[in-house]
Amino acid sequence: METPDVLAWRDGYIEALDQTALPHQIRVLRIASVGDLVDAITSLAIRGAPVLGVAGAFGVALAVRQGRREGWDAARLASEIGRVAAARPTAVNLAREVAAITASADLADPASVERAALAVLDTANRVSRDISVRGAAYLRECLRDRLDAPLRVHTHCNTGTLACLGWGTALGVIRALHEDGVLGQVIVDETRPLLQGARLTCWELGQLGIEHRLAADGAAPFLISQGLADAVVVGADRIAANGDVANKIGTYSLALAARRAGIPFVVAAPESTIDEDTPSGAQIPIELRADEEVTTPAAPAGTRALNYAFDITPADLVTAIVTEQRIVEPVSLEINCR
Ligand code: MRU
């Protein structure tokens, strides 16, 4: 069976592949109201920074349609659009695309809003290929002394088509290395508590025929210390102006381990994930999610959790940030790839 689109605009409503059901079930959600879209975003049925940006753009189009149907005034429309923007706080793409469409499109003209939203989807598809190719070329250059053997890459969370459209970001880089014929094995962290690595990345890699092994998150620094990876490649939810990177919880420990092992730690993300208005990681809002995501099923009833969904990797642990336009090496490191 062909996999349905991750996200699509279908004549007045949104269709989304329900990422909470994968990999065991292919379920498509039909979203016709702002409330349903906010639920889909907060439950992570729709997720991943670039896809959240597209969902935000579609959300404005949806709000305009719903507002017309239900006779909302301008204040109600603005407040419903605000709910979409605030559904998840860390990935800057969501609020950014909502703000961009709200500022540029004519909210009195649903067709113009829909055109603008579809352009955001097209851009997400296009830039992912550029990030993938540039990132793979950078890594081949960086690891030129190791190319006599197939490269082994460690990754975290899910950064493929499901999260970004197109080829993805970090997973797109991995896919480009595979297409170049230089990739050996990928190590995928399971990515607790919601298991985006185990459920989604393993599913995508399986479909692409890319060899991979699943690792418990806690094993990752040890595996890196044992020389099982030549590089770590991850995505980002927001990159501050100074190069600090917010990404799925567990990313920071990979960066520390990569530095200790002397291997590159590369972040692949679209330019739209770079937030010049946020000076450093200290100002990035980190989403705190429900205790139950962590406590279920193992902890005794009443156990409280610390469920931060993202962490901050300081810029001085980042070898390079690869976007569709450039490669930024935040600070000069002992790992000098160029
Ligand atoms: O909570 P999620 O699944 O939306 O988190 C996704 C990630 O952390 C990804 O690594 C990130 O968005 C970067 S690339 C899609």
Q: What is the DSSP string of 177-207?
A: HHHTT-EEEEEEE--TTTTIIIIIIHHHHHH
What does the alpha-carbon distance between residue 292 and residue 290 come to, in Å, rounded to a whole number? 5
Angle between helix axes 49-70 and 92-104 (nearest 10 degrees) is 40
Looking at residue 233, its pLDDT comes to 98
Among 231, 255, 254, 253, which residue's Cα sits nearest to residue 243? 255
Q: Indicate if the pLDDT at residue 335 is higher than 70.
A: no
Task: Give the pLDDT score at 95.
Answer: 98
pLDDT reported for residue 336? 57
Residue 330 has a pLDDT of: 83
Interior angle at CA 284, CA 280 and CA 287, nearest 5? 155
Mean pLDDT of 248-264: 98
Tell me the chain's radius of gyration from C-alpha atoms.
Answer: 20
- Rounded percentage of the chain residues whose pLDDT exceeds 70: 98
Domain boundaries, the chain: 7-123, 129-328
Q: In this predicted model, what pLDDT tens digit does every residue of 283-302 receive, in sequence order?
A: 999 999 999 999 999 999 99
Ligand 1: list residues with CB < 6 Å.
44, 47-50, 91, 157, 159, 163-164, 169, 196, 235-237, 247-248, 309
CATH number for domain 7-123, candidates 3.40.50.720, 1.20.272.10, 3.30.300.30, 1.20.120.420? 1.20.120.420
Q: Does the pLDDT value for residue 334 go beyond 80?
A: no
Tell which one of 44, 161, 247 to mutate to probe ligand 1, the residue whose CB is within 8 A of the most ligand atoms.
247
pLDDT of residue 1: 67
- Per DSSP, what are the bridge partners of residue 159? none
pLDDT in tens, 236-253: 999 999 999 999 999 999
pLDDT digits (tens, 9 = 90+) for 162-218: 999 999 999 999 999 999 999 999 999 999 999 999 999 999 999 999 999 999 999
Provide mean pLDDT across the span 108-135: 97
For residue 14, name the pLDDT band (cuts at 50, 70, 90): very high
Cβ burial of 33 (10 Å; 0-12, 13-18, 19+) is middle
The Å distance, Cα 283 to ligand 1 centre, comes to 19
Q: How far apart are CA 300 and CA 95, in angstroms?
A: 37
Positive or negative: CA dihedral 13, 16, 18, 23 = positive
Distance CA 157, CA 251 (A): 9
> How confident is the model over 69-87, as pLDDT tens digits?
999 999 999 999 999 999 9
Residues near 11 by beta carbon (within 8 Å), at least 6 away in sequence: none
Cα 73 to Cα 62, 66, 113, 127, 317: the distances in Å are 15, 11, 17, 36, 49
Fold of 129-328: Rossmann fold (3.40.50)
Contact 132, 88 (CB under 8 A): no
Pick the catalytic residue from 230, 237, 275, 311. Answer: 237
Topology match between the domains 7-123 and 129-328: no
297-321: average pLDDT: 97
- CA–CA separation, 163 vs 171, rounded Å? 10
